[in-house]
Amino acid sequence: MDPVYARSEHGGYRVEPAIRGFQVHWPAGSQVYPNARQTIIALVNKNPIPPKNSYDPHLTFDRYFRIGKHRRRSVPAVDTLQLFSSSPAVIIARPKPQGVDLERRSHEVRKLFYAGFGHRVLRCGYDPEDVLQEVYKGLLVRNLGKCPFDPSKSSFGHYVHMVCGCIVSNYRRKYSRLGRNEVLGVAGLEGEEDVAESNLFFVDPLQEDDIVFKSATGFLRIRIAQEAAKEGISPEVATSCLDYLLEGFLQREMAVATSTSISTVSRIVRLIKRVAGEWRETNC
């Protein structure tokens, strides 16, 4: 069986058969599901580890991925004037134009960009709308270049996610280079820039590697959800506490935000530290 891709509204992630079940390539890492039903539930709910009460669309594998008898059939284009000619009409199948039609699908591009890269762009201090305009421009350039979107090679969501990743990386590289060349300071007696005499705040250059950070947080979300379920804690509450912890929330603030007792939040924080320590010992 060849790999298939989730629907664009569910992220367009690559799905391929595993030894037992199906493997979904989420942005944070791959996850294997024992059967098609669990795979589709995870995709529809956009959650690698969906809670037990998650929405179940009750779709078969072929119907969801539109394969087999559920494959969409394209209608060949016909010249209307040929219908009135005396000679038999010749049906001409015009090739489907390649590329992304932004006039019709810009809202889908916007949703995919914010879902996959909005938090990362904000964390870097950039305006997401500015970066989104660069994504639109990048798609238009690719429409005229050597690698336009081809639905026969990849899904729409997968292609847009790949282009967004390239644009965001180039955007960050460009402005990081500008930041390294900037000097904070005030003019000295002889006109030179003297940072030591400046009252400006010291600003650290951005040292964090976004790729490593994203990989680590993705690993933490999956493992924390698994460990929380084993200890009888809601996986959804546990992963929410991870997000709040990364944003600098105190335990009492997390308890209010998640409507959970402080004792439960403390257990979750200890669990997060334990899982993070395991990752650090393995990867550092």
Cα distances (Å, whole numbers) of residue 188 to 141, 180, 196, 199, 234: 46, 21, 10, 13, 59
Sheet-wide strand order for 21-26: 4-5, 14-18, 21-26, 29-33
The DSSP H or E segment spanning 18 is: strand 14-18
Q: What is the pLDDT of residue 203?
A: 43
Residue 139: pLDDT over 60: yes
Helices (H), the chain: 36-44, 61-65, 102-123, 128-143, 156-181, 210-230, 235-246, 251-258, 262-283
> What tokens does 22 get?
């199906």
Q: Identify the top-confidence range among 4-8, 96-100, 195-199.
A: 4-8
User: Do the Cβ atoms of 238 and 271 come closer than 8 Å?
Assistant: yes
CB 112 within 8 A of CB 129: no
pLDDT digits (tens, 9 = 90+) for 157-183: 889 998 998 899 888 888 776 655 555
Weakest-pLDDT range from 47-51, 122-126, 207-211, 241-245: 207-211
